Structure 1
Amino acid sequence: MTTFTRRTVLSSMGAALATPALLSRANAAEVTLRLHHFLPAVAPMHTRFFEPWAAELAEASNGAIEVQIFPSMQLGGKPPQLADQTRQGICDIAWTLPVYTPDRFPVAETMSNPFMVTNAEKSSVVLHKLMDEFGAGEYRGMKPLAFHTHDGGKLHTRGAPVTSQGDLDGLKLRAPNQATGEMLTALGAEVVFFPVTDMVVGLSNGVIDGCCLPYEVVPAYKLQELTSYSAAPAPGARGLYANTFALVMNEARYEGLSDDLRGVIDAASGMGLSERIGKQFDEFEAFGKSLVEKQGNEIVEIPAAEIASWQEAAKPVHDAWIEKLDRMGKDGAAIMARANALLDAG
């Protein structure tokens, strides 16, 4: 078995791994890694990221690494258990959301607060930097491979568009996370929380009037057929919210790999991977929006002045989060200030 340096691994990968890998190995995989996630196999994240990424790892290792992908929680359990499944070795790699286990990964969860997103690519880089600076050790027993966000959420409604706070008064909305739900409640909405899979039934039978989600989820749940209006902040404003995501690997599994195979994993993860996933989510967002337009749904803008007043309504939510971080022994004000500074930069 030939070993080689990290520089060799990096040079062999590239954006599309156009050059052959330099590892000299037999065709049979030496290592099989099980990747677990909650989306169906038809979801863009599965077909356009997980499958290509697995193929890239196989190519970069000359077949030594095989990634077996298990969508739709096929290894059992529920999405909130994914991080623990990785830590316990039930799977080797998992893709999960910090908000699934509130307050457990608080630095990673911070950017799930309202108005902590620009686009997915930039916000993903910001999140990764924030984790590098403040989140070390948060994922004990796991090796983080990437952190990212989706694009800013939109308000999708059945009966009427939302362009002002008055339009939210009494509107029954499914909220994507607790912090965003608190803001929407302050603005007059009647907020409910349930899994996104139950949202389809809720919209179909009129239990809810709408939801707050990015366009990216439209294809998976045919949201364009369940709602008639979509409202987004005016260009240049922060997005309403974005959930954060973590791609994590069992730490012992990673450390047990040979030096060269760890190099392959290192070259295929980190800040570059976070940026790449964010960019792909911006592409997913554009595709989802195109389906809404094709359906003939009305897309409206929430004026910048209105968004500014909503941001004022979100300040108590941010203040409460800072206090929560402080109680956990972290510098809440510094974490929030750094995230905002990075989002505003450039």
Structure 2
Amino acid sequence: MYTRLVSAIAIAVGTAHAVHAAEIELTLSHWVPGTHPLQVTGMEPWAESIKQASNGRIEITIYPAQQLGAAADHYDMARDGIVDIGFINPGYQPGRFPILAAAELPFLFENAKAGVAALTEWYKPYSETEMADTYFCMALSHDPGTFHSTSKILVPEDVKGKTVRPANATEARFVNLLGGASVQVSAAESREVLAKGAADMTQSPWESLYIFGVDSIVTHHLDMPLYASINAFIFNKAKLEIMSEEDRQVIYDHCTPEWAEKMSSGWADAEAAGRDKIAADPKHTLWKPNEEQVQMWKDAAAPLTDEWKETIRKAGGDPDEMLNGLIEALKARNSYAGE
């Protein structure tokens, strides 16, 4: 009697669990630590919102810290269905996404919040060609980053002869234009190259110096917003295609400029707060360029735009139309750093 009762209860519990189990289980892979603000304040609330909006039918499991693959491999991982959702840095694969590389040009973004909303809105139509083998969900970024060094960094000349871990392919080219050498590894690998002396500088937003454990190595900082490192969420297309129309719409509703801003806001705030932490630490020195020195950096960066435009022309695109479109999108959201 007791055995039959226990069995009946077990069956009932199992049936109830089956009724409430997610119908679609998605894997989201990224390469920053699980404690990173992008996961805690961005990915986790986003995944929960998708679950709620689908009445529990869609559940997302997050795999941080390169558990499923290296940072530079995440586009191909999502394309090939190794993961369902990939967090990518297109700049880790030089030349592969030349249109989106426009957003890597220095001195474009005033902020990451409205800035990524503008970027998502601008890039969506282009993604249908440039990332056609995946579904581009949204662009993401941090508060604008800068140079962090083991020695003084104030003017472009200070990069000459130094080895730098750049944020992306565009910044790697910038380092080369300045007379430096670049060693291009992901942010997750930056500590190793700096600790070994294989790099004298890195490019990063501020709080990431603590997140990736390089704050004790690079103690000199260019106190100027220089660049945005562009990231994105992409989906495996086949996974979306097997979903019902209703569930696909839930995903589409969570891949918008507004969600891009929500996803990036906590990260942006954390990075901005990191600057205050660095500034308050007597072991660190912030080098603040004056107006003339800022112009020196802008002049040094100008060839990057010319080179990007030539790349787009060779591919048959209209670079002026593309770049002007991005600038107008940024201006419309009060997030353009230019004059």
The alignment's TM-score, normalised by the length of structure 1, stands at: 0.83
Residue 315 (str. 1) matches residue 302 (str. 2): yes
> Paired residue for 1:55, among 41, 48, 59?
48
- Equivalence for 1:6: none
CA distance in 2, matches of 1:221, 1:103: 26
Residue 195 (str. 1) matches residue 186 (str. 2): yes
- Equivalence for 1:184: 175
2:71·2:186 contact (CA, 8 Å) conserved in 1? no
Tell me the CA shift for residue 102 of structure 1. 2.1
Rg comparison, structure with higher value:
2
Compared CA separation, residues 245 and 327, structure 1 to 2 (3 A): same
1:219·1:291 contact (CA, 8 Å) conserved in 2? no
- Equivalence for 2:327: 340
- Equivalence for 1:289: 275
CA distance in 1, matches of 2:141, 2:287: 23
CA distance in 2, matches of 1:105, 1:159: 33
Matched ranges for 1:117-196 at <5 A: 117-160=109-152, 162-196=153-187
Compared CA separation, residues 198 and 261, structure 1 to 2 (3 A): closer
CA distance in 2, matches of 1:250, 1:191: 32
Residue 276 (str. 1) matches residue 262 (str. 2): yes
> Paired residue for 1:39, among 20, 28, 32?
32
- Equivalence for 1:240: 226
Read off the aligned partner of 2:100 and give its amino acid letter: A
CA distance in 2, matches of 1:49, 1:218: 20
Equivalent position SS for 1:223: coil
Tell me the CA shift for residue 294 of structure 1. 4.7
Equivalent position SS for 2:129: coil
Residue 72 (str. 1) matches residue 65 (str. 2): yes
CA distance in 2, matches of 1:159, 1:63: 53
> Paired residue for 1:263, among 225, 238, 249?
249
> Paired residue for 1:298, among 285, 289, 298?
285
Read off the aligned partner of 2:262 and give its amino acid letter: R
- Equivalence for 1:21: none
Compared CA separation, residues 205 and 253, structure 1 to 2 (3 A): closer
What are the Cα deviations for residues 197-242 of structure 1, in whole angstroms up to 9, with x where unaligned? Answer: 4421332243332212111412321232222222222xxxxx3111
| CA RMSD, 1 decimal | 2.2
What percent of counterpart residues are identical?
26
Tell me the CA shift for residue 344 of structure 1. 4.3
Read off the aligned partner of 2:20 and give its amino acid letter: N
- Equivalence for 1:109: 101
In the alignment of these two chains, the number of paired residues is: 315
- Equivalence for 2:214: 223
Tell me the CA shift for residue 302 of structure 1. 1.9
CA distance in 2, matches of 1:301, 1:98: 30
- Structure 1 stretches of 4+ with a deviation exceeding 4 A read none
Matched ranges for 1:20-39 at <5 A: 26-39=19-32
Equivalent position SS for 1:33: strand
Tell me the CA shift for residue 78 of structure 1. 2.2
- Equivalence for 1:250: 236
Equivalent position SS for 1:212: strand
Which consecutive unaligned segments of at least 5 residues does structure 2 have? 1-17, 335-339
Read off the aligned partner of 2:115 and give its amino acid letter: S
Compared CA separation, residues 164 and 142, structure 1 to 2 (3 A): same
Tell me the CA shift for residue 133 of structure 1. 4.5
CA distance in 1, matches of 2:223, 2:329: 22
Equivalent position SS for 2:215: helix
